[in-house]
Structure 1
């Protein structure tokens, strides 16, 4: 097989490989490392006997991701403050997946809320869930990838699906309404309008900030509308670098998100989640090491 051909085949499947690795790991940088390792194995493999390049490569990425998950468990347990998945700009889904149903399925499987829930699955459950629910691989093919029987894979899939269904929060998906509420929220926060903020927040709203100890933000989950509003009143979200930060709307993990730029550099990613026309949860990622998947 010519060198150019092996590159072409790998690049043809790169987006799927990144999709599997990112959903498995919840970390963009780790997913890139896994895909690079997969390329090294692919480039040195005996490809003449490979009949299904996509399945072969996904199997490599899945095993590498499982190994990486087990290695990072201790690191996450020692993490300073709440741990959140690395945010990922997903505007490309609209361009690469013109089919709206397929785009919706993949976008739902990559939301921050879904990735947070998947953190509570075992590594094998997570692998089966990603391969089956997000990418539609048949049970038999997943079993071959994981060296498990068809029945074992079905049991893992059922257990994972029940777990996710029980723990996955219910949020609204009206993009236009979400942007309108977010703009009103920002206007109220900038103007110090406590009453205006409270009207936009669900009574049980919570704010989860991920800084890794490398930026200023609450290190514990902030619960309740009044407490959450106070986080944002008067610039209390910890963005002290710029008096007038630049705000940009972007699609983050399949949902409307907000980028905060300080001196032209990405400082914060904020993703509000909505329920019944109010903000029910706000994810804030300020750890600079976690912003590589969002390019301004």
Structure 2
């Protein structure tokens, strides 16, 4: 199994631009744009790190973003305030990823991007957030997280994701622990999972590709099988891709079987296009 050092010790590639969308240092988006005039198809990328800035930020995805850029895709690699940062948690973390996502549509012409060809890729906790971004149209207008006219996300590729926050909160064997969930969803709302966790928002009405390492010691494999079964039962189109001899790091490390599969799924999603944007 790869370690984080195996990934982060690689030469770090550079993005093409960094876009500011708010006042916090985490209110940043790195744009990776391929050669050519465009407009380019776009990968909306969401990093993981157990929803905690201290663990990871958008730079953890630099190597994956660079690999997608080399394959001809633009990458909109968003950052956000984790639960351990002032203003993060509920509702700040969710509002951050929503604002960073919606800015894609507002600035697409400026950056020569095509939001009608869009796929979201999220890793670990970022897999949950990527699915949540695709689920925003299911939110009640009464929710503090509701956004009118949110950018549609027609397909999500979730890599070692944690879609069910209630399951995470009840599972001490997950690599993020359980205490982080209270900080993410709040403790003073009776229905705190209904607008933050993915299962209560099913069906999402978008394609969902789950990629999981069978030997992932950070994200228990049952998170993938349980969520996949629930989403399919609700009527969603879900595919679970299980990669043998694979842990958590391999899911975003170019050159591995898991990342090669993820990149192939990205290409397939963007070749289909969408009415989103």
TM-score, length of structure 1 as denominator length: 0.27
- Higher Rg of the two aligned structures: 1
